[in-house]
Amino acid sequence: MRLHREGTPTILLITALVAFGIFTLLRWPVLPNVLGVLLGSALVTVLLIVIWFFRVPKRSQPNDPNGIIAPCDGKVVVIEEVHEPEYFKDKRRQVSIFMSPLNVHINYYPISGTTSYYKYHPGKYLVAWHPKSSTENERSTVVANHPVHGEVLFRQIAGALARRICTFTDVGRTAVQGNEFGFIKFGSRVDLLLPLDARIEVDLGQTVTGASTVIARFKDRS
């Protein structure tokens, strides 16, 4: 199993803490054997969970020029028409995907094209499903311009556990559907802001797979 490069510092730190904890337990003779084994097992379990969090799954490269694919793994928690105030400043169809700490936290380009906008916003750490998290939490906004269908906005949003958003793109960079554009450490959410005429292909509460599940389809412009 390959691990994401963003996990290296965290994994090394947790490994050192777990090793120190186990060493301390072994040097503490007054501790009952059963309790020592339980505490040691709990420390190892924490390390395994952290390693699992930073896993990099194998995903086949999508090729769906009319489709808008899931930018991350998780559950669809919002499907609604909203006013988008940052970039479009008009009404859009919003689809939001919540990632639990056990989901893969890699973020993928939902469409191919060119990055036309990128901005990082520091902010709060409200729970990711809070209605105001889209506008008040730490977040990173990216817009990709499809050569035929126009622009789609996708926003990485930090959650109550997340403290670092990583975005690997900039204005003018080529966006390739299904390629990685970012990573969010621990619980978080990704919003998609789509054209009003996009046909939504998922349901509220549905579990989706990044770089695989089709979230919506562009209106046919042929």
67-69 and 199-200: which strand pairing? unpaired
Are the C-beta atoms of 176 and 211 separated by less than 8 Å?
Answer: no
Q: Which of 173, 165, 65, 157 is nearest to 116 (CA)?
A: 173
The active-site residue, picked from 96, 134, 140, 188, is: 188
Whether 188 sits among the annotated catalytic residues: the reply is: yes
Going along the chain, which residue ranges are E strands? 2-3, 55-56, 67-69, 74-84, 90-99, 106-108, 113-121, 139-146, 150-158, 165-167, 174-175, 180-184, 188-194, 199-200, 207-208, 214-217
Q: Which of 215, 114, 110, 101 is nearest to 159 (CA)?
A: 101
Inter-CA distances, 169 with 18, 27, 70, 181, Å? 35, 48, 18, 6
Would you name the residues annotated as active-site residues?
A: 188
